[in-house]
Structure 1
Amino acid sequence: MPDSLGKILKRIRESKHLSIEEVSERSRIPRNIISTIEEDRLNEIKSGFYAKSFVKTYASFLGAVDEPGVKAYLSAGGQPAKPISDAYTRKAGAPQIGFSAVTKHRKQIAAVIMSIFALWVLFAAIVWAGKVIKKKAIPKKTEIRKSADIVKETKKEVFDLKYDSVELEVFASDNTLLQVTADKEIIFKGVLKKGSKETWKAKKEIKLEAGNSGAIKININGKPAGFSGKKGEKKEITVTKDGIKN
């Protein structure tokens, strides 16, 4: 019987002897999202943008981006891919292990390495450009600043030039219940353990609900944010690329 997108990814994960928990921890994809993908319940993810992003991230982690079923789904703009034939399923089999597998897939491996290097160069260029722009935009210390609003406006302009989305980093100094909603889609709900650090992204905004707000600190787009709470205090905030809304 032809395999669906979810079955393809589940088969590859199991062939690598990886549990859902291990994949979630190493790829930063929530466990419930992995289960949703493998059970072919992508329609439960309200945003097609996020559904496609999760599938692409999961497939990249498993090295399954070039699988016909996966490639068809991604190239179709997130529409469900047609199942692959039984003939391909029999041909694919279990992945080779060891040096022979590396030799067989050396072109794909080289392409991945080159892609990572290109992304690193692009990131370095963006950081460098951001520093140059920031240096030109912020007045010298010897200049008189008439109000704090001028400084805030300057920083905001530099911030917006560098980011067109919002990235939230959360650091936990103690265990805390946490719910994270990205663009009105819940992407994490559970306990963030002491010493943990998690990162989430959204196109417009992220809503954070913490049961122990005194135990967490946050960065917004790589910069520390003024978030404070008391131990055991429940607190909710909404974060955009401009900072904390409330």
Structure 2
Amino acid sequence: MSIGNSPEDDRPSPPSTSSDASATPEPATDSDRPSIGRALQQARIDAGLTVEEVSTATRVRIPIVHAIEGDDFSRCGGDVYARGHIRTLARAVGLDPVRLVQQYDAEHGGRPSPTSAAPLFEAERIRPERRRPNWTAAMVAAIVAVIGFVGFTMFNGDDRGSSGHHVAEGPAPAQKAAPKPKPPKPPAPSESAIAAVPKDKVTVRLTATDDKSWISAKASDGKLLFDGLLLKGASKTFQDNEKIDLILGNAGAIELYVNGKRVDDTFETGQVERLTYTKGDPQVG
């Protein structure tokens, strides 16, 4: 009688399922994040802005905005311009530009290392040429000096010849009375003049203090009062009988007066705001 393994012992054991039941799911990767273009497009839609409004506020052409929202960066003209467009569009729609630029670098080979400009221009150094004397200008100056000297001599000679023949033949003519001084001009109205606004109307004054900003203003009947870029230092005043609707593309750069009262806001640079103001004490709509 031999002792050994039975055929049942040689059969492979079934795989254990206890470890599979306790296995944890894999964490989400960066591939689960939306693309750069999709994130910019969704943020623009959430902010209630059209592509044309974003293009006007950022000065990025409409075809490039459409291309970036479709994740096509070939129309930007290179990585440097692509990063700049991403930062500008992100600020306009209220996204973090740093995160999107980092995502772009990760998807396009990383940020390129800076290149020193000194060796590139070393071969361009050329010895300056010696300036030649400008004889034409010297001759013109000499001729002008001679003409001036001759005219001065003739004028003085006529003055001396005629001075010896003057004879006093009567009383000296009466001196003309000195002209009365003109009254000073009234001072120009100051910025505080906006305080004297009519009580039965809505008056809004916008001033771009820190930077330029795209703005849009509509009256109560839907009429467009202004739609464009307000440059740094420029001001616009709007008035209506009922209300005024505003869209500020860069609200942090705007100083706002409503019905003669300054509105103290907490808007940030690059923030897009939609506001409505009516008669009386200003309130944000």
- The TM-score, its normalising length taken from structure 2, stands at 0.29
More helix by share: 1
- The TM-score, its normalising length taken from structure 1, stands at 0.34
Rg larger for: 2
